[in-house]
Amino acid sequence: MTPTLESARKLDRHDPLAGFKARFALPEGVLYLDGNSLGAQPRDAREALALTRDQWRDELVKGWNQGWFDAPERLGDLLAPLLGAGPGEVVVSDNITLNLFKLLGYIIDSQKRARSVILSEGGNFPSDSYIAQGLCRFTGLEHRVLPEGGDLADYLDERVAAVVLSQVHYRTGRLRDMAAITALVREQGAEVIWDLAHSAGAMPVDLNGSGVRYAVGCTYKYLNGGPGAPGFLYVHKDSQARGWQPLSGWHGHAAPFDFEGDYAPAPGILRFRTGTHSALAYAPLEASLRLWREVDMTALRAKSLALGELFQDCLTDLFESKGIEDITPPVAERGSQVALIHREHGYAIVQALIARGVIGDYRAPGLMRFGFTPLYLSYEDVWQAARHFREVVETREYLGPALLTRSAVT
Amino acid sequence: MTPTLESARKLDRHDPLAGFKARFALPEGVLYLDGNSLGAQPRDAREALALTRDQWRDELVKGWNQGWFDAPERLGDLLAPLLGAGPGEVVVSDNITLNLFKLLGYIIDSQKRARSVILSEGGNFPSDSYIAQGLCRFTGLEHRVLPEGGDLADYLDERVAAVVLSQVHYRTGRLRDMAAITALVREQGAEVIWDLAHSAGAMPVDLNGSGVRYAVGCTYKYLNGGPGAPGFLYVHKDSQARGWQPLSGWHGHAAPFDFEGDYAPAPGILRFRTGTHSALAYAPLEASLRLWREVDMTALRAKSLALGELFQDCLTDLFESKGIEDITPPVAERGSQVALIHREHGYAIVQALIARGVIGDYRAPGLMRFGFTPLYLSYEDVWQAARHFREVVETREYLGPALLTRSAVT
């Protein structure tokens, strides 16, 4: 039976996370189902940014001793509990591309080049493969691709140094079994670097409990750090003293203010810092991570799945009658998004929805992605978004005037 | 004859750059002579940051199509004229450490590893050596050091692939002859990467006119982009299609939104981008660069030198009587700072000055640095700073109560 508006409102009345919505600054008239691309703005982030802006004006260079310099490790420790990591295991720094390069280089250095292949996955967000390719070209290592749907075990041999995998797939939202895969890779003597771009802040992540040594991720999606907010990098405590990472800048030096002539890596996670970072980029993220510390991640996961299922339940009959393929994995194997394919008109449908203020996103060919962010989406929001989706598809509005507004909204 | 306050005020009355001071938000009661470390805040930067903050709230993911995504190249083109570069030759991205890695890797790739030595300079800001060391360890290349005061010609041979040199030395402020050195290095078949951290925005820089192919720099010192604002990277038009840079992220891809499986470098300067950048970090820098477009760089250089000389002229007799060594190079060979050494009490003198609101900085052993930023320092400011310096030294105030405030101001 298709859920009613009243049933959605009833879920909101019993939602333990309902209070968080007021902590976000959301534009009027928008139903935002693209928090998997760029997260909404916490109200506290606005104030934090203004404070750092004033700190620059008033304190000038002294600001570096007033919290700017050690932001990468302070924010890392704030973030760690969301990832199942401990203090000193996470640093907020650079972006995913650069953090992958650091970890790949670190693993190769720690293995003393005994292995020569980097494996990354095809069909996922390609930047992880791009940086693996750049590193391989630069070092003479070999880059191999695990094809989408391929069995990882078939691609692991004694030459594989490291594998880069996403915990949640950016297109389909498929969730991998991190613990089992980590065990498999490590049995073969290789290392795996997990990309948490679509899982950090979307669900509980248990790096320590899954035997994970290396991970990277971003903070601008589910973690609401702001557009292009700094990335993060995790290294298990037991694996932090194995060598150098190649991007050896002064902020990763053991004594950065001694200005010694030779590089010596800092102890622990700090060696994964590079050079000077933007204090303004860290300010809103710190405010957001403080908000996230209040979140019950079990409740978050429950609501995330419930929102996605509500959206699907509202539209199942429509999908069948209108030739829309729902490629979202089963509940136990999904992240926090619903993925739908309409090969012919997927792009136009997303545009028509945007024209109505329902923001999802489109990835060729044919894929419509809708992300569910439990802190600032209510059940009613999702019900209304589904209603708009139905109206757009049933009336074929996507073929009409909405297309005229495309240039204004994309 | 020691300059009088009246003579300083007269210089201010005839200063063609005097109008810029009101464009900066400066704290009350501070004489800021550390703009060579972190530049002061342009008033327009405050507004620009607030606008981008609101754009995140209101436009959400659409902001990437409203100026965020192409900020690296747009700001690069804004910056180019200050560096003697043309459109499409500069990109604003990452930081100096990462940009050096990109350019070193690019040069090595373009030379097909025919050469095996990276040369960097000793005694200068060490991050440039650190990243050269990291790259060499990672690739099996050899790192060599040009000792401070050594003759570069003695260190160039057919094995040297690239040299990293600062145009202006961070401690002494010594200015190198960029054109002559570039010619020397290129005659030997090597490449030189210029670090412009202490010259961009401090004086006119003429990359094209000096035959320079590669340069990096930062924007948070003389260019007032904000704490840890993004770095920049310059590659001459004729040298932009020679290979890959190793940090090959999706923003440097020829078609970043096609999500192709394989990396293909973007044409031109765009291949030197890496992954997703912070839109908030770029906003104040863009406002500052627009202000900089109004600046007559010849007038800036003249005032920069005049401010430094005024400071020295006010204190020459004191230096002699109090054992303070002025290691500032002659006018034609200096950047925009004065460098003084008091081996025993340099640190305490700088702290006593800070307690009076006169901000310079200290670098062990014994070095006191004072930076002169013509857009927001008046001649009277510099005269007053010199007066404070004299009082602190003559009264030996630095041995007394000022030390008690050390923890509050450093």
- What pLDDT score does A408 carry? 38
Q: Say whether B248 and A278 touch across the interface (CB within 8 A).
A: no
Cα gap A238→A186, rounded to integer Å: 14
Element (H, E) at A42: strand A41-42
Q: How far is CA B295 from CA A123, B81, B204, in A?
A: 49, 11, 11
The predicted model gives A215-228 an average pLDDT of 98
Q: What is the ipTM of this complex?
A: 0.96
- What pLDDT score does B408 carry? 38
Cα gap B374→B376, rounded to integer Å: 6
Tell whether A296 is in a known binding site.
no
**DSSP conformation class of A3:** P
Radius of gyration of chain B (CA): 22
Residue of chain A minimizing CA distance to B26: A57
Confidence of residue A169 (pLDDT cuts 50, 70, 90): very high
Q: Say whether A261 and B26 touch across the interface (CB within 8 A).
A: no
Q: Say whether B134 and A363 touch across the interface (CB within 8 A).
A: no
Question: Could you tell me how many CB contacts below 8 A there are between chain A and chain B?
Answer: 274
Interface of B with A in 324-353 (CB under 8 A): none
**DSSP conformation class of B371:** E
Cα gap A269→A209, rounded to integer Å: 19
CA distance B362 to chain A (A): 11
pLDDT tens profile A28-61: 999 999 999 999 999 999 999 999 999 999 999 9
Q: Assess B238–A contact: CB distance below 8 Å, yes or no.
A: no
Helix axes A43-59, A279-292, angle to 10 degrees: 140
Q: Strand B325-326 and strand B337-341: pairing?
A: antiparallel
Residue of chain B minimizing CA distance to A261: B126
Residue from the list A58, A68, A247 with its beta carbon closest to the beta carbon of B97: A247
- What pLDDT score does A407 carry? 41
Tell whether B220 is in a known binding site.
yes
Taking the CB of residue A180, how many other CB atoms lie within 10 A of it?
A: 11
- What pLDDT score does A401 carry? 64
Q: Is A271 a catalytic residue?
A: no
- What pLDDT score does B93 carry? 98
**DSSP conformation class of B242:** S
- What pLDDT score does A403 carry? 52
- Counting Cα atoms < 13 Å in the Cβ hemisphere of A238 gives 4
For chain B, list the domains and their CATH numbers. 5-42+296-398 (3.90.1150.10), 67-292 (3.40.640.10)
Cα gap B254→B278, rounded to integer Å: 21
The residues of B annotated with a catalytic role in the active site are 125, 195, 220-221, 369
Q: Assess B355–A contact: CB distance below 8 Å, yes or no.
A: no
Q: Strand B358-359 and strand B31-32: pairing?
A: parallel
Q: Say whether A280 and B284 touch across the interface (CB within 8 A).
A: yes
Residue to mutate among B92, B251, B277, B280, with most A CBs inside 10 A, is: B280
The predicted model gives A3-16 an average pLDDT of 98
Interface of B with A in 85-114 (CB under 8 A): 94-98, 101, 105, 108-109
Taking contacts as CB-CB distances below 8 angstroms, the residues of chain A near B62 are 359, 409-410
Residue from the list A37, A62, A130 with its beta carbon closest to the beta carbon of B263: A130
Q: Please identify every stretch of chain B with a pLDDT value under 70, giving residue numbers as ranges.
A: 401-410
Give all strands (DSSP E) within B167-297, no chain letters: 191-195, 214-217, 232-235
CA distance B47 to chain A (A): 10
Look at residues A83, A32, A99, A66 and name the one whose alpha carbon lies nearest to residue A283.
A66
Taking the CB of residue A29, how many other CB atoms lie within 10 A of it?
A: 7
Q: Assess B265–A contact: CB distance below 8 Å, yes or no.
A: no
Residue ranges of alpha helices (H) inside B64-187 are: 71-83, 96-110, 127-139, 178-187
CB of B158 closer than 8 Å to CB of B187:
no
Look at residues B357, B406, B402 and name the one whose alpha carbon lies nearest to residue B384.
B357
- Degrees (nearest 5) of the Cα angle A69, A70, A71? 95
Tell whether B126 is in a known binding site.
yes
Cα gap A217→A100, rounded to integer Å: 9
Residue to mutate among A34, A57, A69, A347, with most B CBs inside 10 A, is: A57
Residue from the list A56, A108, A129 with its beta carbon closest to the beta carbon of B41: A56
Taking the CB of residue B244, how many other CB atoms lie within 10 A of it?
A: 20
Give all strands (DSSP E) within A204-250, no chain letters: 214-217, 232-235
Q: Say whether A280 and B275 touch across the interface (CB within 8 A).
A: no
Q: Assess A355–B contact: CB distance below 8 Å, yes or no.
A: no
Taking contacts as CB-CB distances below 8 angstroms, the residues of chain B near A56 are 38, 41, 226-227
- What pLDDT score does A400 carry? 82
Which residue in the list A220, A222, A234, A311 is annotated as catalytic?
Answer: A220
Interface of B with A in 164-223 (CB under 8 A): 218, 220
Q: Say whether A49 and B46 touch across the interface (CB within 8 A).
A: no
CA quadruple B40, B46, B47, B49: dihedral sign: positive
**In the predicted model, is pLDDT for residue A10 greater than 90?**
yes
Q: Is A24 a catalytic residue?
A: no
Cα gap B67→B392, rounded to integer Å: 49
pLDDT tens profile A90-131: 999 999 999 999 999 999 999 999 999 999 999 989 999 999
What are A114's two structure tokens? Answer: 């005994």
Q: Say whether B130 and A56 touch across the interface (CB within 8 A).
A: no
Element (H, E) at A48: helix A43-59
CB of A249 closer than 8 Å to CB of A217:
no
Which residue in the list A77, A311, A369, A379 is annotated as catalytic?
Answer: A369
The predicted model gives A336-347 an average pLDDT of 97
Cα gap A86→A206, rounded to integer Å: 11
Give all strands (DSSP E) within B142-243, no chain letters: 142-146, 160-166, 191-195, 214-217, 232-235
Cα gap A353→A392, rounded to integer Å: 7
- What pLDDT score does A385 carry? 98
Tell whether A125 is in a known binding site.
yes
Q: Say whether A60 and B98 touch across the interface (CB within 8 A).
A: no
CA distance B242 to chain A (A): 14
Phi, psi of B197 (to 5 degrees): -50, -40
- What pLDDT score does B403 carry? 52
Q: Give the three-state DSSP class for A282.
A: helix
- What pLDDT score does B400 carry? 82
Taking the mean position of all CA atoms in its chain, how far away is CA A120? 17
- What pLDDT score does B7 carry? 98
**In the predicted model, is pLDDT for residue A405 greater than 70?**
no
What are B84's two structure tokens? Answer: 């003697």
Helix axes A279-292, B279-292, angle to 10 degrees: 160
Taking contacts as CB-CB distances below 8 angstroms, the residues of chain A near B27 are 57-60
CB of A284 closer than 8 Å to CB of A225:
yes
- What pLDDT score does B1 carry? 80
- What pLDDT score does B38 carry? 98
- What pLDDT score does B35 carry? 97
Q: Say whether A129 and B262 touch across the interface (CB within 8 A).
A: yes
Q: How far is CA B257 from CA A105, A289, A363, B150, in A?
A: 27, 29, 9, 49
Higher pLDDT: A123 or A341? It is: A341
CA distance B1 to chain A (A): 34
Cα gap B402→B352, rounded to integer Å: 5
Give the list of residues 6+ apart from residue B113 with CB closer than 8 angstroms, or none: none
